[in-house]
Amino acid sequence: MKIRRREFIGTASAVALGMVRPVWIRAQEGGGKMPPTPTRPAKVERLFKAPDMDPNALEAAPDGLWIGDQVSERVFRVDWQTGKVLHEVQTESHNTSGLAVGAGYLWLGANGGVSGRRPPRPTDKPYGEVIQADIKTGKTVKIHQLIWGGGVHGITFVPQTQTLWVTALSIQAVAEIDPKDFRVLRLRPARGDRPHGLDWDNGALWVLIAGDHLVQKIDPESGKVLEIVTLSRTSDPDPHGMCIHEGHMYYCDAGLTAPGPGSEPAQICRFKIGPSAS
């Protein structure tokens, strides 16, 4: 059964605004006795600069780190250790804000509107969409409209389920999507100032909240926030795109959108996650 956009928005808004809350959320907001979410600061390590100046999307792969640039709309695969470019494609994306690799394709979170940062191109749009592109050439294979409307940031492909998770900015949520028909399978809340980078690791979702300078580990079944990792607003580069690789969370500083005092445009960073992080 095909869901109309109006029906979807009504249900999704209820989830995002908390009208449909698990018991643990109701207890937490109503003053019930819930243990505080484990929170720790990140110990950030600077690695190398991205090939272009405005990296806004990252994706992890065994053969290298994928980087999407917000202005040039180019996508690079670079060496994990040195940042050396191993593969490069020019895409037809616009305001690239998320990047996934899976099922033989690139999946680009095209956030819409390039804000005068470069000359307009015929493929630019004023609204968000997900672009399915050829992994070898960057050429567009198919464009997927967002049933929730508005913009899109992070996107990640989960090999175990062969599904995509996508940030749904207008309803403050993350959505699990069937890439074959872009049917929404699940919605989970993603509250905060600009949910951005997104990845999946050992059965959990990690969502980077760029404006709040933190990352949330989320249980995909319940939506509960299991852990929070904070970044310094003054001494750490600003967080935008994010991915996870071999026990580390990697993130990039695009140098755009409310840059803070610690901003270092084009910087690629990482910090440890998991039991050995403390």
Residue 30: the pLDDT is 52
Residue type (1 letter), 161: T
Residue 17: the pLDDT is 46
> Does the global pTM surpass 0.85?
yes
Q: Which stretches within the chain are classed as H helix?
A: 5-16, 23-29
CA dist., res. 55 & res. 256, Å (int)? 10
CA distances from 111 to 140, 182, 222, 251 (A): 16, 17, 27, 18
Residue 35: the pLDDT is 85
Residue 20: the pLDDT is 42
- Count, residues in the chain: 278
Contacts of 181 (CB under 8 A, 6+ apart): none
Residue type (1 letter), 226: L
Q: In what order do the strands lie in the sheet with 173-178?
A: 155-158, 163-168, 173-178, 183-189
Residue 11: the pLDDT is 52
Residue 28: the pLDDT is 46
pLDDT of the chain, 278 residues: tens digit per residue? 445 555 555 555 554 544 344 443 444 455 566 789 999 999 999 999 999 999 999 999 999 999 999 999 999 999 999 999 999 999 999 999 999 999 999 999 999 988 899 999 999 999 999 999 999 999 999 999 999 998 999 999 999 999 999 999 999 999 999 999 999 999 999 999 999 999 999 999 999 999 999 999 999 999 999 999 999 999 999 999 999 999 999 999 999 888 889 999 999 999 999 776 65
Contacts of 152 (CB under 8 A, 6+ apart): 97, 98, 109, 110, 111, 128, 129, 130, 146, 166, 167, 168, 169
CA dist., res. 154 & res. 58, Å (int)? 9
- The candidate with the shortest Cα–Cα distance to 52, out of 78, 74, 33, is 74
> What DSSP string runs through 208-228?
EEGGGTEEEEE-TTT--EEEE
Residue 13: the pLDDT is 53
Half-sphere exposure at residue 262, Cβ-oriented, CA atoms within 13 angstroms:
16
